[in-house]
A and B are shown apart, each in its own frame.
Chain A
Amino acid sequence: MKSLTHNHFQKTAFIIVVTLVFATVSSGIFSRQAEAAKKDVLVVARAMDINSLDPHIAFCDTCKVVIGMMYETLIKLGADNKTILPQLARNWEVSGDGMTYTFYLDEYAVFSDGSPVESKDVKFTIERWQNLKQDSSMYAKSISKVDASDPRKVVITVSSWPSELLGQLAVPYAGIINSDVARANGAVSTADAPKKDKAEAWFMKNSVGSSPYVLESYRPDEEIRLKQNPKYWGKKPAIKRIIIKHVPEPVSQAQMLESGQVDIAMQIDADTAKTIRNKNVVIKSQPSYYFNYVALVPGATNLEVPLTPKVREAIALAIDHEGMLDVTLGGAGRVQPSVIPVEFPGGGGLPMPKQNLVKARKLLAEAGHPNGFGLLAVYPDMTSFGVSFSVVMQKVQQDLRKIGIKVKLEPVTMAVLRSRTGGTIPMTILMWAADYMGSAQYVQYFAMVPGTTWYYLASGTTNDMKELTNHREAALMEKLQKASAEEAEKLYHEFAKEMINEHVIIPIGNPNLLLTYRKNVLGMRYDIITEIPFDEISKR
């Protein structure tokens, strides 16, 4: 009796099961086809942190990569990350006193619309860069005048920090833009640019550089696509299309790399790399130029105890740097003594930090806190260069507990962190990636001298904490203005020592760079400016 209605269910169930099986089986077959990616298309997995595609507003790690691909600079760095090579400028001269640079533009250089690259474009670029006053403009700070009277040559006069201009002009944010097209779309280079310039939205959809690639499309949170510039004036690269997919988790990146869905994964950390078993994936480890650091903020308003020099030194001495490397990187990195990377001018030969709990406790007692105190740490809950900040803070918490300091953790988003600068962050952790080969960037950012970013941040609400000013550093900065390259190196060395002894910025690790890519990708290397020189890559 039940048989007939039974059939209803049986039939439906049967159909459902068959459909499911078919769907999964067919997908199994088709997913193999993901392997066959074309030879002239490069797919990259990366956690994108793009804040803008306007070369003079953008300032982020992914921005460096992408802007570096869409715009060319006057000069570029060679494969050794040190030698300066011609790009838009075929040669250049520096005046005897080091204050005037003359660049002779390559007469073959043209923009993506075919129009020649001329000195007026360089002038427009540099002036817009300076006047928009965004983050990256600190690299243009030294430029006082740009003379574009001759269309084929640019004369740049500097007012300070002469020795690093060439390095700074190789930064992606110094990419030369097509001034005519930019102007036509709302770009303004004069002093009122912050109010009048309306081109940012347009830059999110278009690129106007002279490089081998142009922007094809950008979908926030998804991907960015670059395609070949058909009018490129130099040697055409093997890769005609680049697709950077937004993949926020290193583990997902690893999975996509192993399954062949992407050719290169840019942010796989050491732990995840260990799990990759696929023979078609190459993993290369090498030293990098970026680092993560713990920062103490003496000017914070919610300090239980003032962060005097003795207290700060005690905190710095309590940190177990080797253990930190082990916990955060599995040992795949180096301890970095100061903010200046070891290979950079002035970064070598500095005393390595060593944990000294006895001395730390003694200093605390001398400072009047023999039983320790409470300390709040407000930090961005993110992973930077393979290092999870939460893991770092928890290790710091463990270390400081040994000298009686009870650290309370408050992870926040980056946005919240920024909003609380100006007073309520006693301790935090951040990172810095070298923008170019040179040490001026560290002084400009980290020195405890009024005018630098970290002076402002460390001072809290006051933005001007007299006792924080390091007059010796200020004196060094004065000397650097007129120093030669050798003298500068010695001065940077002094700087590094000063910054170490301040114990405001405490580097906690220089992670190794991991290059992770499929075996058939050739030409991979680490480029300090763009991370990966995509125009040198080809696929077998």
Chain B
Amino acid sequence: MTFESGSELGKANLEVFSQTLLALARKDRNVLVVTSDSRGSGKLLPFAEKLPDQMVEVGVAEQNLVGIAAGLASAGKIVYAVSPACFLTARALEQIKNDVCYSDRPVKLIGISAGVSYGALGSTHHATHDLAVLRAINNIDIIVPADNLETAQAIKAAAKMRHPVYIRLGKRPMYHLHEPGTKFEVGKAIAVRQGTDVAFVATGETVYHALLAAKELGKEGLTSRVISMHTIRPLDTQAILRAASDCRAIVTVEEHSISGGLGEACAAVLMESGIRVSFKIVGFPDEYMVSGSQMDIFKHYGISAQGLAKTAKMLLNP
């Protein structure tokens, strides 16, 4: 059977994270997971049951979570600090900046239920700022996996990283976007689909919607490139520049504020290169967020097959 991107539903990236981490931890007792009363939402109950000595629970205390993780990492532990992205990257931002990044402790920060995964719970539980704040802090890679393959590979790659990394995960089951065996490399975007009319440079759980938009546009004879920009830093600038030279328009897509995220990073690359291309950033505007499920919020802000296809056509036929 041939593989078709986006046709088969997989697991939630969080589930894949948990299984991958358990497998890593079984092979190496130095692998530890630190949680802030977040083992349930992190899908870490099996880990807690099977490897209780490799789990450190700190209670609802994200600052302490990150500080302790830095200390454990300094003593040679391979530490995954797991907490909802909204709390991890806001409440504990100073610990991330100083204890992890500035002090260069190779903690693997896992922001769970990121973006608007907790859509209906309100903005306290949204993480739509995390890419922006972490991009402004020196010494941390930022990875936003789009599907199960990217998640498993990112979690494995993180174990070997000697510097800090942030991995952002959502909680919905995700469609498989990449053929099994697809090469995943931190900092190298993966093209899910090739095309020359419009390029969707998308990240995380929005990539699937860009793919659906590409299919919609295909019905009208337009070809779309869909790029999974799974690493926000270091950014794959070559993939952006190639898309800009090959395609007539670029639409960036992210489950994040349009301020300081993937779109602005791409815009800077393009402006500095001197390449002119029609360009639009799709994300969350600077406003009080609408309430609803993740899918409601995506649709509201145009992160949907119809919304993204419409944005692309506006750029192609101004």
Q: Do A and B come from one complex?
A: no
